[in-house]
Amino acid sequence: MQYSQSEFDLSVVIPCYNEAGRLPRTLARTITFLATKPGRHEIVVVSDGSTDATVEETMKAFQSLPDNVHGKWFGYAPNAGKGKAVKFGMRQASGNRILFMDADYAVPLEDLVRAEALLDRGFDIAIGSRAVHDTKIVEAQSFVRNRIAKVFGFIQRNYLGLRLRDTQCGFKLFTREAARTIFSRVKLSSVIFDGEVLWLAKKMNLTVSEFPVEWTHDPDSRITYNFIKSFKVLRDMLSIPFLHLRRTEVPVPERREVRVAG
């Protein structure tokens, strides 16, 4: 399916859960970056059941935007997981290219130039990677998180057949067509949704390339791991091929969404 030209060149999707503390800085940097970037752009903030002032901080940041930047936000309750927030935002975004990035600004937007160069070369998806040559790790994550990531990466490569070094970095750029095609089919709401996204891309013969990033881990993470949670994430990962056995999918009723656009 071919999509008509959007009025926006780039959409930046930011999923949030109780990010009132970090989001203002992230939005300020994002707006400053997009203000000097040629073309028209939009920022899409999705509040995934936040109970703090995430929405208020978003509205505040969107009060005075440069002429070439549009902002809109969406919120729903209760909290459902990063996967749902990203899926919701990606489906609301309308740019010709759509990026999703984490609210902690772990990867600076200056690295977007590397992702755009890959799409210029014809790739459908460009994903930031903390495991390729030229990546700069400013602040590393904890030993435990690093070990868990390596275990999940091993399973994804050998069970899901994803020949990628890092699937979980929260900085991924899609063509509009690739985003629409994939995120209309994503089912997982948990943090391992990235694996499902890339598995779907592989099944659809979409082209994916990794690129190096400058990455800074923020210890104040909204994603925590313990034995039970790690087991649930592992279960979700193993379920991915079985979620897509049927071509005709029965629609699942959505939670009631509350939408406000800025």
User: Nearest 5 degrees, angle CA 68-CA 14-CA 57?
Assistant: 80
Residue 31 vs residue 131, higher pLDDT:
31
Q: How much is the pLDDT for 139?
A: 77
Residue 182 vs residue 154, higher pLDDT:
182
Predicted confidence (pLDDT) at residue 87 exceeds the cutoff of 70? yes
Domain limits of the chain? Answer: 10-245
Q: How far apart (Å, rounded) are the C-alpha atoms in residues 31 and 262?
A: 14
Q: How far apart (Å, rounded) are the C-alpha atoms in residues 220 and 14?
A: 17
Q: How far apart (Å, rounded) are the C-alpha atoms in residues 223 and 206?
A: 29
- Please write the tens of the pLDDT for every residue from 56-69: 999 999 999 999 99
Across the chain, mean pLDDT equals 88
SS3 150: helix
Mean pLDDT of 115-131: 97
Q: How much is the pLDDT for 220?
A: 66
Instruction: Tell me the CB-side half-sphere exposure of residue 176, using CA atoms within 13 A.
Output: 17
Predicted confidence (pLDDT) at residue 178 exceeds the cutoff of 80? yes
Residues 99, 22, 76, 185: is their CA dihedral positive or negative?
positive
Predicted confidence (pLDDT) at residue 142 exceeds the cutoff of 80? no
Q: How much is the pLDDT for 258?
A: 43
Q: Are strands 125-129 and 208-212 parallel, antiparallel or unpaired?
A: parallel
Neighbours of 253 (CB within 10 A): 5
Q: Which of the four CATH numbers 3.90.550.10, 3.30.1950.10, 3.30.565.10, 3.40.190.10 does domain 10-245 have?
A: 3.90.550.10
Enter the DSSP assignment of 22: T
Mean pLDDT of 68-73: 97
72 φ/ψ sector (left φ>0, alpha ψ -120 to 50, else beta):
beta
Q: Which among 65, 72, 74 is positioned nearest to 31, based on CA atoms? A: 65
The mean-pLDDT minimum among 127-141, 225-239, 242-256 falls in: 242-256
- Please write the tens of the pLDDT for every residue from 17-30: 999 999 999 999 99
The mean-pLDDT minimum among 178-182, 240-244, 245-249 falls in: 245-249
